[in-house]
């Protein structure tokens, strides 16, 4: 009886799947795609018919289908195991089920060999893919620790450890030889009620014998460096109305060079209701002499705007005694939004020194007249800034002029300063130079990464360089004194088929420095869990607009790759200046988008001005809204094949990649947001950053598999890992305890709303056991 039930379930399932493949395959062929799905769908449906009627030929037919599938799959994917999964796994599993005696009895007795042979071949192919097809580790020896002078005495005083943003620590107590013994030293768990999804992605500061960090809802804490015990806590009690995410990436530490009446050492931070605040680093109490009793109102000069669309998300940069701060503006809402103004305040008194946006470059020190605002809709800068005090410059990574996906209305000043890096004179606020990474950005590819300042040797000369990572995966290496490219930048033609009323730049800049951008997508790169959802993705790929990078937004669905999350995002890159190596974790996820004509949007509006549809960007004041999303199939799986993340090390001495490997496993990846629990290297989505040490190690969380890893910077080998309570969507840091001298490595494990997984509020610290 059970055999009969199983047989008829197989008949129905095979028949339905066969018809779906056949019908979808016809559409795919009509769109110029592969013939495989038509042929396999027909063979599968015919096999179901044969099974239902107990025909002698149905099992050999399915065996021939599986054998043909193997040949086709190898022709398209080679020995790439993850690329073979949707092509082969489901047909092979079905083949095993068909060999169940009760089912096999409905075929010719001697026909089992027709199916057994391709099943054995499938196993052999996947074994080969797991060995020959796997990207090997480079053949470099393990990295030995080096001794480096430490001006910070083991502390971590800035978000990127120094104003340069290199994220390199001279500490080497933890090295390749002993990192495998690393164990959890302590865990600090936030007791702050989260605002929506946890937004805990902060990098703590280690200074003055304490750790300082921000939690959800703009709560600041000081912790004991050896136990994680809370020493003091300050709640800024922000008004979060309208704020979509109360994320904080960190705080800043400032030690006043002259004796001060209060707060000799202070913590400065931005608040989501637009305040800049200062606290005494010893007590956590407000610095009453800073601004207005410890706070500065950053709404001044911004004009009218809806609550919650503009706020600081990154710590102020402390350069030349000034706290320089920008902020997020929810671009994509309107052509008339607040300025993304950059302001500098005296770090002790809070007095405004200057305010820069492109409309105030002539005199950033000029005070606003009554009723005057900063330049409306000027590009914002929500990432972390860098500074060179010797050159007297602060470096600002800039975003897109609002709104993101339509820009015909933008002013010339807005055009040249958006999506790039601007060097401002710390004394005057004037722009010394600027460099643009995209011209007329209509893809939401704002520069989120902190510019990294380091010295490199190029063409026989030592250059004080600035490396600007981008969401495109391009790295622009500039002389930070004047903004001129160290590695040549060439302009290349790009697609021009824009929507009515828009225009596109004829060319876009490409650096000759190695990049981590993804290759141009093809139909064979489309992915899934089964042949059915892979076929769906292939059909969408054929239907959508796509001419490679810089495909313009269209009234038809269009593919944007890289997507708006990168490439490189706010985690930036890490530089080991001693070994001359740069570390980059990169993301590979395509977006899709469709422009919605304004008339259609207006027709959807209710009386209160809301619409019956949810658009990623409403773009009021332009002819179009846009519906934008990640390119996923109906099972919630990316439509492009892995890897979705890579970790790459580039040799700054040679200007070549030293190694590049898929980063992260499939452990917490799967359809419908489920975890597969497969600890197999895949290259997982990741958001966050890394650090490097004199011990020859990279420490990084960031990946969707929730692992925190130590990796040999020289050869990419993973030397240690541990599972975090949530994704470590932050940049880690390391320090030497002022009290015990022990080296700790710390990362925030808060999860990330852009990646599947639990939220959290833990700060995790790791150290070697006593006696090591």
pLDDT > 70 fraction of the chain, expressed in percent and rounded? 97
CB neighbour class for 735 (10 Å; exposed up to 12, middle 13-18, buried from 19) = buried
**Which candidate, 367, 362, 311, places its Cα nearest to that of 340?**
311
**Which candidate, 384, 218, 378, places its Cα nearest to that of 316?**
384
Catalytic option among 218, 273, 331, 444: 444
- Mean predicted confidence (pLDDT) in 133-155: 87
CB neighbour class for 55 (10 Å; exposed up to 12, middle 13-18, buried from 19) = middle
- Mean predicted confidence (pLDDT) in 311-328: 97
pLDDT of residue 501: 97
Q: Where are the beta strands (DSSP E) in 99-227?
A: 168-169, 183-189, 205-207, 210-214, 219-224
Query: CA 111 to CA 50: how far, in whole Å?
Result: 13
Contact 268, 207 (CB under 8 A): no
Check whether 409 has a pLDDT greater than 80: yes
SS3 (DSSP) at 597 = strand
User: pLDDT, tens digit, for every residue of 197-213?
Assistant: 667 899 999 999 999 99
**Which candidate, 558, 560, 554, 439, places its Cα nearest to that of 500?**
554
* pLDDT band per the 50, 70, 90 thresholds, residue 752: confident
pLDDT of residue 772: 78
pLDDT of residue 197: 61
pLDDT of residue 261: 86
User: pLDDT, tens digit, for every residue of 232-277?
Assistant: 999 999 999 988 888 889 999 999 998 888 999 999 999 999 999 9
Q: Which residues contact 230 (CB under 8 A, 6 or more apart)?
A: 188, 221, 222, 223
Which two three-digit tokens encode residue 291? 């601004």
Q: Which residues contact 133 (CB under 8 A, 6 or more apart)?
A: 78, 79, 80, 81
- Mean predicted confidence (pLDDT) in 694-715: 97
Task: Give the angle 453-455-457 at the CA atoms, nearest 5°.
Answer: 140
Query: CA 727 to CA 750: how far, in whole Å?
Result: 6
Q: What's the pTM?
A: 0.96
Contact 419, 438 (CB under 8 A): yes
Query: CA 632 to CA 635: how far, in whole Å?
Result: 8
Contact 133, 78 (CB under 8 A): yes
* pLDDT band per the 50, 70, 90 thresholds, residue 114: confident
Is residue 404 annotated as part of the catalytic site, yes or no?
no
Mean pLDDT of the chain: 94
- Mean predicted confidence (pLDDT) in 634-648: 97
Write down how long the chain is: 772
Residue 667 has what DSSP assignment?
Answer: T
Cβ burial 268-279 (10 Å sphere, 16+ → b, else e): bbbbbbbbbbbb
Query: CA 167 to CA 386: how far, in whole Å?
Result: 12
Q: Given the structure tokens 């956590």, which residue do they identify? A: 284
Query: CA 539 to CA 28: how far, in whole Å?
Result: 5
pLDDT of residue 613: 58
Check whether 87 has a pLDDT greater than 70: yes
- DSSP characters for 59-127? HHHHHHHHHHHHHHHHHHHTT-HHHHIIIIIHHHHHHHHHTSHHHHTTS-GGGHHHHHHHHHHHHHHHH
User: pLDDT, tens digit, for every residue of 3-50?
Assistant: 688 889 999 999 999 999 999 999 999 999 999 999 999 999 999 999
Contact 620, 377 (CB under 8 A): no
**Which candidate, 269, 294, 164, 295, places its Cα nearest to that of 212?**
269
pLDDT of residue 453: 98
Which stretch of 80-94, 127-141, 172-186, 286-300 has the lowest confidence by average pLDDT?
Answer: 127-141
Strand duo 690-693 + 168-169: pairing? parallel
Contact 570, 537 (CB under 8 A): no
* pLDDT band per the 50, 70, 90 thresholds, residue 611: low
pLDDT of residue 510: 98
Which two three-digit tokens encode residue 27? 């559409």
Neighbours of 35 (CB within 10 A): 12
């Amino acid at each position: 009886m059970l055999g009969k039930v199983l047989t008829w379930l197989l008949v129905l399932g095979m028949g339905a799947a066969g018809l779906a493949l056949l019908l979808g395959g016809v559409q795919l062929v009509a769109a110029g795609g592969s013939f495989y799905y038509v042929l396999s769908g027909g063979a599968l449906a015919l096999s179901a018919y044969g099974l239902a009627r107990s025909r002698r030929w149905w099992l050999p037919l399915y065996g021939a289908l599986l054998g043909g599938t193997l040949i086709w799959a190898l022709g398209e994917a080679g020995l790439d195991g993850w690329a073979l999964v949707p092509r082969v796994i489901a047909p092979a599993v079905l083949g095993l089920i068909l060999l169940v005696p009760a089912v096999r009895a409905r075929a010719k007795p001697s026909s089992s060999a027709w199916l057994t042979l391709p099943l054995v071949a499938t196993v052999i192919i996947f074994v080969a893919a797991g060995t020959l097809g796997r990207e090997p580790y480079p053949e470099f020896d393990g990295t030995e620790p080096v001794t480096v002078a430490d001006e910070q005495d083991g502390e971590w005083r800035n978000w990127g450890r120094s104003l340069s943003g290199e994220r390199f620590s001279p500490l080497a107590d933890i090295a390749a030889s002993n990192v495998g013994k690393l164990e959890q030293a302590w865990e600090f768990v936030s007791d702050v009620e989260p605002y929506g999804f946890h937004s805990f992605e902060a990098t703590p500061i280690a200074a003055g014998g304490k750790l300082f960090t921000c939690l959800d809802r703009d709560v600041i804490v000081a912790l004991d460096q050896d136990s994680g015990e809370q020493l003091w806590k300050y709640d800024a009690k922000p008004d979060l109305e309208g704020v979509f995410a109360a994320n904080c990436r960190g705080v800043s530490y400032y030690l006043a060079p002259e004796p001060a009446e209060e707060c000799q050492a202070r913590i400065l931070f931005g608040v989501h209701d637009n305040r800049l605040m200062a606290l005494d680093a010893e007590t956590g109490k407000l610095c009453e002499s800073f601004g207005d009793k410890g706070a500065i109102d950053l709404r001044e000069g911004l004009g009218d705007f809806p609550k919650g669309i503009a706020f600081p998300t990154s710590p102020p940069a402390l350069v030349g005694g000034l706290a320089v701060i920008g902020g997020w503006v929810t671009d994509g809402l309107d052509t008339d939004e607040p300025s993304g103004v950059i302001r500098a305040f005296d770090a002790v008194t809070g007095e405004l020194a200057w305010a820069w946006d492109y409309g105030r470059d002539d005199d950033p020190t000029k005070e606003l007249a009554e009723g005057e605002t900063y330049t409306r809709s000027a590009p914002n800068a929500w990432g972390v800034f860098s500074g060179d005090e010797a050159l007297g410059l602060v470096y600002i990574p800039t975003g897109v002029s609002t709104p993101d996906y339509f820009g015909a209305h933008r002013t010339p000043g807005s055009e040249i300063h958006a999506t790039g890096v601007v060097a401002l004179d710390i004394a005057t606020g004037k722009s010394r130079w600027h460099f643009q990474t995209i011209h007329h950005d209509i893809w939401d590819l704002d520069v989120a990464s902190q510019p990294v300042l380091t010295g490199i040797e190029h063409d026989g000369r030592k250059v004080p360089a600035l490396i600007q990572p981008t969401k495109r995966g391009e790295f622009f290496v500039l002389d930070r004194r004047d903004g001129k490219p160290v590695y040549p930048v060439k302009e290349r033609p790009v697609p021009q088929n824009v929507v009515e009323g828009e225009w596109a730049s004829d060319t876009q800049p490409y650096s000759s420095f190695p990049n981590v951008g993804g290759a141009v997508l093809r139909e064979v790169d489309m992915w899934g869990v089964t042949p059915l959802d892979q076929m769906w993705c292939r059909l969408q790929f054929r239907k959508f607009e796509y001419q490679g990078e810089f495909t313009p937004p269209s009234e038809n669905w269009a593919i944007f790759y890289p997507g708006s999350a990168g490439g490189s995002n706010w985690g930036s890159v890490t530089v080991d200046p001693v070994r001359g190596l740069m570390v980059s974790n990169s993301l590979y996820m395509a977006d899709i988008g469709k422009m919605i004509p304004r008339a259609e949007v207006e027709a959807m509006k209710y009386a209160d001005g809301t619409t019956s549809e949810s658009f990623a960007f409403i773009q009021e004041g332009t002819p179009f809204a846009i519906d934008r999303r990640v390119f996923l199939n109906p099972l919630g799986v990316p439509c492009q094949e892995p890897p979705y993340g890579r970790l790459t090390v580039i040799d700054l001495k040679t200007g070549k990649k030293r190694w590049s490997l898929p980063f992260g496993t499939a452990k917490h990846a799967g359809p419908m947001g489920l975890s597969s629990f497969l600890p197999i290297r895949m290259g997982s989505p990741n958001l966050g950053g890394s650090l490097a040490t004199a011990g020859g190690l990279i420490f990084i969380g960031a990946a969707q598999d929730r692992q925190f890893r130590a990796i040999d910077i020289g050869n990419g080998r993973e030397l240690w890992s541990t599972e975090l309570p949530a994704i470590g969507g932050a940049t880690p840091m390391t320090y030497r305890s002022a009290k015990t001298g022990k080296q700790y490595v710390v990362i925030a494990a808060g999860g990330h709303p852009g990646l599947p997984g639990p939220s959290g509020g833990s700060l995790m610290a790791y150290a070697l056991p006593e006696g090591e």
